[in-house]
Amino acid sequence: MRPHRSFARPHGWLLAAALVLAALLPGVDAGAAEVSLYEVKVPLDGTSEAERAAAFSRAMQAVAVRVSGRREAAANATVTAADPARHVQRYASGSDKTLTVGFDGGSVDRLLQQAGLTFWAAERPLTLVDVTSDDRTAAIDAAQWRGLPIAWQAGAAAIGPAQAVLKGTPNGLQFDWSFSHAGQTVQARGTLEDGIHLAADTLAARYAPPSSRGSSTLVLRVAGMGDVRSYTGALAYLDSLSVVRSVAVEALEGDVVRLRVVVRGDRELLGRIAGLEPKLQPAARGADAASDADFSFEP
């Protein structure tokens, strides 16, 4: 469950028209893969209360890693001292000796903030894994634990273009890894699992920076409001982003809407998350109405 967010809009004919169009618009189609942040599956050793409690603790540690983007979050003192039962919203045991646990998003976010941990948004780049290996189990398990959306090279055409590339070249019993995204390339040597962690660590450094430990209130000017449909689409898109906590409209001036937005992180992080798809891009500077805008929206 995602944390509760508030969403304010102006009064008048624009509000009425926007509400009508909101009911007609399809759901926001995110170009980035969206990860389920607050639901994890962990091993369940048995049916006793003690064994279930141990599984809840593992689930709490796993969700802390997935949401924060940091492997060390599993050993964070605040996380390990927390009572998982206070944050669990639902759970179900499976026939494969696993326990699927769904946590309350707002409750987990508050805990991780108390722990001083960062926040990695649910919108994450798809990583294309280019490697030859007969056994992918370790890589798949590591990707699930980190919340890293991956696609294997053979199936990439059916999924869409990758937004990040992890390439592994065999070197003895290990691989030489190269991970590229957003004009940056990092390299390492290790196992299949190490390659996944290289990708996740690099992406978390970019999309879960220190600023994401807290929240910021931003005043944004978004251009491209040529009609009510564009206006409604921009509001719906911003509200759909997991880093956004609230959106309030302050004014509409020509084709530019001025918004007060509360986000996890800062303006730079919001721009990085929005940059994963073409809907919201930095506005071009010029003599037109968009010259004073921060972003331009493309439905």
Does 58 reside within a domain?
A: yes
**Do residues 228 and 260 both lie within one domain?**
yes
Residue ranges for the chain with pLDDT beneath 50: 4-31, 156, 158-160, 289-290
Specify the number of domains making up the chain: 3
**Do residues 144 and 198 both lie within one domain?**
yes
**Do residues 133 and 198 both lie within one domain?**
yes
pLDDT of 289 reads: 45
Does 113 reside within a domain?
A: no
Cα 291 from Cα 26, distance rounded (Å): 30
Residue that is last in its domain, among 189, 207, 225: 207
Does 108 reside within a domain?
A: no
CATH number of the domain to which 174 belongs: 3.40.50.800
**Do residues 218 and 243 both lie within one domain?**
yes
Does 145 reside within a domain?
A: yes
**Do residues 98 and 162 both lie within one domain?**
no
Does 114 reside within a domain?
A: no
Does 72 reside within a domain?
A: yes
**Do residues 128 and 57 both lie within one domain?**
no
According to DSSP, the β-strands at 6-8 and 244-253 are parallel
Residue that is last in its domain, among 191, 207, 223: 207
**Do residues 145 and 94 both lie within one domain?**
no
**Do residues 84 and 134 both lie within one domain?**
no
Alpha helices in the chain (DSSP H): 13-24, 49-68, 77-81, 105-114, 137-146, 156-159, 192-207, 228-240, 267-274
**Do residues 62 and 90 both lie within one domain?**
yes
**Do residues 133 and 90 both lie within one domain?**
no
pLDDT of 29 reads: 34
Residue that is last in its domain, among 207, 227, 253: 207
DSSP string, 54-92: HHHHHHHHHHHHHHH--GGGGG-HHHHHS-GGGTEEEEE
**Do residues 21 and 83 both lie within one domain?**
no
Cα 102 from Cα 258, distance rounded (Å): 36
Q: Which two tokens stand for residue 200?
A: 């996740």
Domain of residue 175: give its range.
Answer: 123-207
Cα 111 from Cα 134, distance rounded (Å): 40
Model pTM score? 0.85
**Do residues 190 and 226 both lie within one domain?**
no
Does 251 reside within a domain?
A: yes
Residue 231 phi, psi (nearest 5): -60, -50
Does 24 reside within a domain?
A: yes
Contact 274, 241 (CB under 8 A): yes
The CA–CA distances, whole Å, from 114 to 62, 76, 83, 110 equal: 17, 11, 14, 6
